[in-house]
A = this chain, B = another copy of it.
């Protein structure tokens, strides 16, 4: 099956290239870049020198539609909303890594994304690609709104408890931390090495655009409106997200019961790993891989439960989950092309 990547020069795009390179069923036949079309890919990313000899293609809907069965859009937010419908109308299945199709309520876009929403029919039709939760819908989808990096870790960490009704949905506080690659390849003072190294920063406190995305899914899963407190930190490392999540248990639970709940909930899902009691995951334990690892601490002194979830933001938080969704859409083995071990150390 032939696939293309639009926006191949960002970090999400280049990770798609890495993971697709040896996919058993999909073949990457075009990498599109608006800003650098015509250039050799290996000039933009020298680590591909001698491996990927192709040049970057310009964006051409007809060509893309004609030659490909599926297109990954790794373009910036605000761009996908105009491009994806053109491709879908040509009958090409799409997986969009931006936020443009994740929110059902169009009014949220001006508020949280600072741009206009996509056409409302597309917003409604979009399937949210959180693979472990929406597998059936994904299998039938024409196009996928691939989840954000923070929402992936947050939602996989909270949904089993919320669904089971063990936690109070009004007490959700998520302290999220990310490596710097989450900010992309675009340069800014905030991601300049000398300003970022040996530094820990907070940003967009209570104002991150992933908040409505998380709330939409939690409200749907919990069947009542959920509001969260969500803060984001920039950690001096390249890859990795950790969400430390705090919530009040409805009633006291043994940690092992919680662990058992998660084991049972994620049975048959190869990419979610639950840590035993007293052990918590570290971001490096999923480095370069598609795993989401989860651990728990039961703070019996306060009745609160702490849930720790980690992912590699570029893989499970972007390109890896996108490929997982492609696998599901095609009824392939969900782990095809993704069964690489974490790189350690």
List residues of chain A with CB under 8 Å of any chain B CB. 11, 14, 17-18, 21-22, 45-51, 173, 175, 177, 179-181, 183, 185, 187-189, 191-203, 205-206, 227-229, 231, 233, 235-240, 242, 244, 246, 273, 275, 279-288, 293, 295, 297-299, 301-302, 304, 306, 308, 310, 314, 339-345
Would you call B173 and A304 a contact (CB within 8 A)?
Answer: yes
Q: Which chain B residues lie closer than 8 Å to A47 at the CB level? A: 284-287, 341-342, 344
Given contacts A246-B246, A280-B205, A281-B46, contact A341 B18 (CB under 8 A): yes
The 4 closest A-B pairs by CB, nearest first: A205-B297, A199-B284, A47-B285, A175-B175
Instruction: Report the minimum CB–CB distance from A210 to chain B (whole Å).
Output: 14
Per the bound structure, the CA–CA distance linking A274 and B288 in Å amounts to 26
Cβ contacts under 8 Å, A177 to chain B: 177, 200, 233
- CB of A137, distance to nearest CB on chain B (Å): 26
Copies in the complex: 4
Q: Report how far A227 CA is from B298 CA in the complex, Å.
A: 14
CA distance A179 to B195 in the complex (A): 12
Contact A187 B187, beta carbon cutoff 8 Å: yes
**With A45-B344, A345-B181 known to touch, is A237 a contact of B282 (CB < 8 Å)?**
no
Indicate if the CB atoms of B14 and A227 lie closer than 8 Å. no
Closest Cβ–Cβ distance, residue A296 to chain B (whole Å):
9
